[in-house]
């Protein structure tokens, strides 16, 4: 997709003029022939535009090292060619020269017309370059600008998701490293392992955190939650019951204990626990959704409707809450 996007953009750069033989080869996708034709053309008629097109044909063949001097020559002859600056920045990124890539891309960002589609490419590559320079927040700002204009652009979405995931994992690990040999340190380490989808080791970290400080409720709730996700409701319930002795009204402990009770067929107890979770939850619709389903199973239609309405109020855009409300109202 990235090559196709650049090919379309490169074609747009040259379509403004009647195509020469070199341009015709380029537009036909025969970049090797186009490269040779541009090299011959430059011997007799050197110009910034021709140097730029030579750089583009080399770029589209992944000849980034030789494309760089072509774009530099284009800019020497015409410093206002922001398209050459953009592709120079991309090529510098491709050869891992991230600092120079950033400089060129930031210059291109200042020079590109505000409504030009080339701004999309600048934001993408500037974001990628800043992330490569270990400045993820600044990089994400550029990617988010692009996504605000093009919300369905897949490569930008993938880069944003991966960067957010990596950033979250690094933050967890940084906190853990500062105080690793402590209950909070092991709990944070557990979160980092969860982010890496290493559930078994995360369980070990949470359990060790709990052993170091049995009075802390967070690790025990995490243990119960993970056991529940593994299809072990009885073990999850035991772990969560211990947490509820420490904090009987903790909404997370009540919520997960309620889910465990549902799986164990203890619907009345599930209702009691979920009622507490629902009462102390402000934004999360999940406790109310689960409670509405339990009320339906217990034949309490009016209570189920009220719970479903609370869920939709907390999350007006939630399709699950909306569909549940429709179901309970139809009963």
Neighbours of 175 (CB within 10 A): 17
The answer to whether 268 touches 298, Cβ cutoff 8 Å, is yes
Final residue in a domain of this structure, among 130, 150, 170 = 150
Average pLDDT for 152-177: 73
The helices-and-strands tally (H runs, E runs) of the chain is 19, 0
φ/ψ (deg, to 5) at 119: -60, -30
Instruction: Please indicate whether residue 172 or residue 152 has the higher confidence score (pLDDT).
Output: 152
pLDDT at 330: 78
pLDDT confidence of residue 173: 58
Closest CA to 133 of 165, 169, 92: 92
Whether 317 has a pLDDT exceeding 90, the answer reads: no
Q: Tell me which residue range forms the domain holding 41.
A: 2-150
Question: What predicted TM-score, i.e. pTM, was given to this entire model?
Answer: 0.51
Q: What is the pLDDT of residue 174?
A: 57
User: Does residue 155 form part of some domain?
Assistant: no
- In this prediction, residue 40 carries a pLDDT of 93
Q: CATH number, domain at 59?
A: 1.25.40.10
Which of 95, 129, 150 terminates a domain? The answer is 150
Q: How many domains does the chain have?
A: 2
Residue 247: inside a domain: no
Q: Which token pair is 217?
A: 């409720």
Across 227-241, average pLDDT: 95
Contact between 106 and 122 under an 8 Å Cβ cutoff? The reply is no
Q: How far apart are CA 125 and CA 89, in angstroms?
A: 8
Strand ranges for 161-293 from DSSP E = none
Domain boundary residue, one of 122, 150, 178: 150
Distance CA 75, CA 79 (A): 4
**Quick one: 6 and 146 in the same domain?**
yes
Q: What are phi and psi for residue 284, nearest 5 degrees?
A: -75, 125
Q: From CA 38, how far away is CA 52, in angstroms rounded? A: 10
Mean pLDDT of the chain: 87
Q: Given a cut of 80, is residue 137 above it in pLDDT?
A: yes
Please say if the pLDDT value at position 1 is more than 50: no
Distance CA 55, CA 87 (A): 8
Task: Tell me, yes or no, whether 230 lies in a domain.
Answer: no
Question: Does residue 256 register a pLDDT over 90?
Answer: yes
For residue 8, what pLDDT is reported?
Answer: 40
Please tell me which residue, 173 or 261, carries the higher pLDDT value: 261
Residue 267 has what pLDDT? 96
Around Cβ 319, how many Cβ atoms within 10 Å?
A: 8
Q: Residue 182's pLDDT is what?
A: 77
* 203 domain residue, yes or no: no
Residue 169's pLDDT band (cuts 50, 70, 90): low
In-domain check, residue 188: no
Q: What is the DSSP letter of 182?
A: S
Residue 324 maps to a domain: yes
| pLDDT score at 197 | 84
Beta-carbon contacts of 78 under 8 Å, excluding residues fewer than 6 positions away, are 48, 49, 84
Q: Is residue 242 part of a domain?
A: no
Specify the pLDDT at position 15. Answer: 46
70 band by pLDDT with thresholds 50, 70 and 90: very high
pLDDT band at residue 3 using 50, 70 and 90 as cut-offs: very low
Residue 101 included in any domain: yes
DSSP-based helix, strand, coil % in the chain, nearest 5:
80, 0, 20
């Amino acid at each position: 997709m990235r090559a196709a996007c650049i090919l379309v953009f490169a074609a747009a750069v040259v379509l403004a003029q009647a195509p020469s033989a070199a341009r015709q080869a380029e537009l036909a996708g025969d970049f090797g022939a186009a490269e040779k034709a541009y090299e011959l053309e430059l011997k007799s008629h050197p110009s910034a535009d021709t140097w730029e097109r030579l750089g583009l044909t080399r770029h589209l063949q992944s000849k980034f090292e030789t494309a760089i001097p072509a774009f530099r020559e284009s800019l020497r002859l015409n410093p206002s060619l922001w398209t050459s600056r953009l592709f120079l920045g991309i090529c510098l990124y491709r050869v891992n020269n991230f600092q120079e890539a950033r400089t060129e891309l930031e210059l291109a960002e200042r020079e590109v017309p505000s409504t030009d589609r080339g701004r999309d490419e600048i934001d993408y590559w500037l974001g990628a370059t800043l992330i490569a320079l270990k400045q993820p927040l600044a990089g994400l700002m550029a990617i988010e600008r692009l996504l605000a204009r093009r919300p369905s652009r897949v490569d930008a979405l993938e880069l944003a998701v991966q960067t957010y995931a990596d950033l979250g994992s690094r933050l967890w690990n940084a906190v853990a490293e500062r105080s690793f040999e402590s209950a909070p340190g092991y709990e944070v380490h557990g979160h980092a392992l969860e982010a890496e989808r290493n559930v078994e080791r995360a369980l070990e970290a949470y359990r060790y955190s709990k052993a170091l400080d049995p009075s802390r409720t967070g690790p025990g709730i995490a243990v119960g939650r993970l056991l529940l996700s593994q299809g072990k409701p009885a073990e999850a319930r035991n772990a969560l019951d211990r947490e509820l002795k420490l904090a009987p009204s903790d909404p997370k402990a009540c919520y997960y204990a309620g889910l465990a009770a549902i799986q164990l067929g203890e619907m009345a107890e599930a209702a009691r626990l979920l009622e507490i979770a629902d009462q102390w939850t402000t934004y999360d619709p999940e406790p109310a959704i689960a409670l509405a389903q339990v009320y339906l199973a217990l034949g309490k239609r009016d209570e189920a409707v009220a719970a479903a309405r609370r869920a939709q109020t907390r999350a007006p855009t939630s399709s699950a809450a909306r569909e549940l409300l429709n179901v309970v109202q139809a009963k």
